Amino acid sequence: MSTPEDPQRLREQILALLDARRDGATICPSEVARAIAPAQWRRLMDAVRAVARELVEEGVVEITQRGHVVDPASARGPIRIRRVRRRPET
């Protein structure tokens, strides 16, 4: 059985929430944490952000602030997560 902080569980939850949204939509890290541990979601926030950074490195998601893609290493304050936007092939 996995723990709430299990990176694979967090990764799966991030991707599941994004899959349930329209293309280009974002999710808040707190949505991920609340889905896994509703009563203790705050303690998961750092772990969720860490997994999101890993997904950025893999080219799966982007981290945004105020609608703009930001470097997750320098992002401070509230962030949003979205799937990487693919450019249409020409």
Q: Where are the domains of the chain?
A: 7-77
pLDDT of 1-36, one tens digit each?
677 789 999 999 999 999 999 999 999 999 999 999
The partner residues of 35 in beta bridges, in order of sequence, read: none
d(CA 81, CA 88): 21
Is the CATH number of domain 7-77 1.10.10.10? yes
Average pLDDT of the residues in 67-80: 92
- Is the pTM higher than 0.75? The answer reads yes
